[in-house]
Structure 1
Amino acid sequence: MAPEAGSGRSLPNIAMWGAPGSGKTTLLAALNIALLRQEGNWSIVGADAQSTSFLTEKTTALSRDKVFPPATQGLDNYNWFLVGQPERRRARWFRRSRMARALKIGINPLDPPGGAFGDKEGGGRASQQDLLRNLVHSRGILFLFDPIRENEDGDAFEYLYGVLAQLAEQVIAGSEVTDGRLPHYLAVCITKFDDFKVLETAKRLRLLTTDPEDPFGFPRVADEDAKELFQQLCRVSASGNADMVLNAIGRFFREDRIRYFVTSSIGFYVGPRNKLFDMDDYQNLVPTVSKPADGQPVSDTRYNTEIRIRGEVRPINVMEPMLWLGQRISVP
């Protein structure tokens, strides 16, 4: 666990983990937006000036500039805290009610340096030992599974198993653990729910539902159904190894400490007039084309296409996995 500055105490720590480019930076910015949009009392704050500046910059890029923050190597150099005030404790008739102590949970995104845990060559600032040390001392893990990347690259198992094997070696082999499972809580986030392929898969499986309190009527997949969607998405892996991702999770973690979430960092598009979800017009990503500057030669490759966010950013189920982890690993 991470030490609390100036107190000598250890704070519970959540490690964000996933393949390079799986969206850790975007999810952090989306988490900040989601917390600011809801009426609760949780917030994400930087542990130092560098981390605060990073979070501010990425949140602005996502919400105002409507662009995705670039994938960032060396995220282990930044640290944040999830801070919240639990509900007021009820007092008996002869005692005064008192406010529960605020909770503070460390958040540390882990970026495997260029394939450090896979078969690919690469390097980075952080060593395998540094990344493993953080996982060993964390009590909760938020694992990002990108179904679109898996469909195209098929490397989720490559980045998952190498880490789990070494983590189990350090945590299980030399401890008094008797069930052969890691003691961590694990939140598995199936990302990019707003993508056509993911949403249509959920629709075909009849897993879509809506929250009656959602003013936009966004579709969702209930947490208890998220694992079924995960299983189906694993079947279209480019490598055919994604089924081993699910099996490895079940072998290394305790069943009652695993929960699956279907998430979107940007949410769906809603029109400016009716402000409601429309199944015929929900894509919140659009390609944009930039023309060459004056004086530049004209050719077939003169236009650059990039993906931009079309409407407002309204994250779906991004806050919930982090709060689920925080509430289970925290000791007020």
Structure 2
Amino acid sequence: MSETSANRWNTTANPDPGQSARTNHNIAIWGAPGSGKTTFLAALNIALILKDGPWRLIGADGPSTDFLIEMTAALSQDQCFPQATSTLGRYRWFLSEKPELQPRRWGRKRKEARAWKIGIDVLDAPGRSYHSKRTGRGTEREDLLDSLAASRGIVFLFDPVREFKDGDAFVHLHGVLADLARRMLATGEYADDTLPHHLAVCVTKFDELQVLQTAQKLSLLSPDPEDPHRFPRVADEDAEELFQMLSTVSASGNAGMVLPTLKQYFRSDRIKFFVTSSIGFYLDPMKGHFDPDDHQNLISAYQIRGQARPINVMEPMLWLGRQLSAEGDDRGARR
């Protein structure tokens, strides 16, 4: 992927609001540099296509549609990772559920059920924007805080491989949360001493050997009964346990403060944990199923071995979309 293409996505990803569809539900992608924010976004469309279910991703404006097309091609056809985000970008999409035909009644025409659409306004910010004030860039950081304050859904990516090497997840987390809480307290949106957001905490790089082996040692692996390839999974109810264990392996020793910090700022009933992989495991086309002795899908820092088969990438977005939609319905009912 050329640098020109990557820069074009970022510099054109803030269209004139009057030229694009407006969305009510804002979701921000959060994570340290190299945690896989851009790859996560690219993998979302592939996950929905492979699922062959009722959900599809539709760009609400030109730049978002271009991003969707080119990033999907890079990850699936070119089998390479997108370049890390270098500038602040906003992409407007709809998660649209294809309506099912209602049964035909005697003497009446068949009607289609009403389609359900979840509006998503995704902010893809450089990881450095989440760092402490000493290194975060002024205008960029302010834009980031503005977006987080306007959002009500956050995908927080925790990269255990990076944490083992660099140990900087906490420093990319705490300063931003402190600033965000201060802002929202001033506007009266820091109710019950917590932030109003729904938070999807994603343990990334499940395909990496260290992460997979840790889950195996904790006896958290279980195949998805509906998956014909029998890829291993970690159930959502067990994801927090894996997160806690991986937090103990940190270059700085500070990762153990990440989970308590999240629970300090967000309501516990608005936090859900997921174990994800944007590229998934390698699948030998001759075998057609997961091989525990030959499952690495990563060739190098930039190249993927086989087809990307994302794991648990669409689920956090759908969960956030449902939470935000339900919250909006509750507000409407109370009016």
TM exceeds 0.5?
yes
Residue deviations 1:28-72 (CA, integer Å, cap 9, x gap): 111010011122232223333223222222211111111111102
**What is the deviation of 1:271?**
1.1
Q: Match for residue 310 of structure 1?
A: 305
CA distance in 2, matches of 1:252, 1:325: 18
The answer to whether the 8 A contact 1:189-1:262 is kept is yes
**What is the deviation of 1:127?**
2.1
Which ranges of structure 1 fall in alignment gaps of 5 or more residues? 288-305
**What is the deviation of 1:113?**
6.4
Aligned pairs for 1:185-264 (under 5 A) are 185-264=198-277
CA RMSD in angstroms comes to 2.8
Percent identical among aligned pairs is 53
Q: Match for residue 323 of structure 2?
A: 328
1:131 matches 2:126: no
CA distance in 2, matches of 1:64, 1:89: 34
**What is the deviation of 1:77?**
2.8
SS of alignment partner, residue 285 of structure 1: coil
Q: Match for residue 69 of structure 1?
A: 82
CA distance in 1, matches of 2:16, 2:115: 18
Residue deviations 1:175-197 (CA, integer Å, cap 9, x gap): 16542011110001100000000
CA distance in 2, matches of 1:21, 1:8: 30
CA distance in 2, matches of 1:60, 1:97: 36
The answer to whether the 8 A contact 1:44-1:80 is kept is no
Q: Match for residue 123 of structure 2?
A: 109
CA distance in 2, matches of 1:235, 1:59: 34
Counterpart of 2:61, as a letter, is: D
Counterpart of 1:166, as a letter, is: D
Counterpart of 2:37, as a letter, is: K
**What is the deviation of 1:240?**
0.6
Instruction: Choose from 137, 143, 146 the match for 2:159.
Output: 146
Instruction: Choose from 70, 82, 95 the match for 2:94.
Output: 82
- In structure 2, the CA distance between the partners of 1:127 and 1:7, relative to structure 1 (3 Å rule), is closer
1:38 matches 2:51: yes
CA distance in 1, matches of 2:203, 2:290: 21
Residue deviations 1:210-229 (CA, integer Å, cap 9, x gap): 11110110000000000000
- In structure 2, the CA distance between the partners of 1:89 and 1:325, relative to structure 1 (3 Å rule), is farther
The answer to whether the 8 A contact 1:82-1:104 is kept is yes
The answer to whether the 8 A contact 1:269-1:283 is kept is yes
Counterpart of 2:161, as a letter, is: I
CA distance in 1, matches of 2:129, 2:198: 25
Residue deviations 1:86-115 (CA, integer Å, cap 9, x gap): 766999x9xx97733532322323424635
Q: TM-score, normalised by structure 1?
A: 0.84
CA distance in 2, matches of 1:41, 1:4: 28
SS of alignment partner, residue 193 of structure 2: coil
The answer to whether the 8 A contact 2:96-2:115 is kept is no
Counterpart of 1:223, as a letter, is: D
Counterpart of 2:94, as a letter, is: L
Which ranges of structure 2 fall in alignment gaps of 5 or more residues? 1-14, 330-335
More helix by share: 2
CA distance in 1, matches of 2:192, 2:92: 32
How many matched pairs? 309
CA distance in 2, matches of 1:31, 1:160: 24
- In structure 2, the CA distance between the partners of 1:89 and 1:254, relative to structure 1 (3 Å rule), is farther
CA distance in 2, matches of 1:208, 1:155: 27
Q: Match for residue 118 of structure 1?
A: 132
Counterpart of 2:308, as a letter, is: V
Q: TM-score, normalised by structure 2?
A: 0.84
CA distance in 2, matches of 1:135, 1:115: 12
CA distance in 2, matches of 1:321, 1:26: 15
Instruction: Choose from 82, 99, 113 the match for 2:113.
Output: 99
Residue deviations 1:271-321 (CA, integer Å, cap 9, x gap): 12111101111111124xxxxxxxxxxxxxxxxxx6421111110000100
